[in-house]
Amino acid sequence: MNYKIPLILAPQPEGGYTVTSPLLPELVTEGDTVEEALDNVKDALAAVVETYQELGRSLPKNAMVLDDSVPVCLETVVTAP
């Protein structure tokens, strides 16, 4: 299943980024670069989905992409030279 999750990337004083989601407060991960932090979101989201399933909770409906044929708006960080 595909999900659309708002993410907050917070730069850390010691370097790297912490990623959280206002929609899923249980989602927390980090990375040394933006790319690494965003890549780590996949594992963090999988853990949150598994936890929700174990607890019998449903993810918020607006987090799920129910129809893959419909365009999804995405904001992301892109580094250009």
Tell me: the pLDDT tens digits for 5-54?
999 999 999 999 999 999 999 999 999 999 999 999 999 999 999 999 99
Strands 28-31 and 64-65, sheet pairing = unpaired
Does residue 74 lie in a domain region? no
Cα dist from 65 to 33, 44, 69, whole Å: 27, 18, 10
Does residue 34 lie in a domain region? yes
Does residue 12 lie in a domain region? yes
What's the predicted TM-score (pTM) here? 0.84
Does residue 19 lie in a domain region? yes
Question: Which domain range does residue 23 map to?
Answer: 7-56
Distance CA 70, CA 68 (A): 5
Does residue 24 lie in a domain region? yes
Work out the pLDDT band at 71, boundaries 50, 70, 90. Answer: confident
Work out the pLDDT band at 74, boundaries 50, 70, 90. Answer: confident
Does residue 32 lie in a domain region? yes
Q: How many domains does the chain have?
A: 1
Question: What values do phi and psi take at 3, rounded to 5?
Answer: -130, 150
> What's the confidence (pLDDT) of residue 78?
76
Does residue 65 lie in a domain region? no
Does residue 66 lie in a domain region? no
- Contacts of 78 by beta carbon, 8 Å cutoff, 6+ apart: none
Q: Please write the tens of the pLDDT for every residue from 31-42.
A: 999 999 999 999
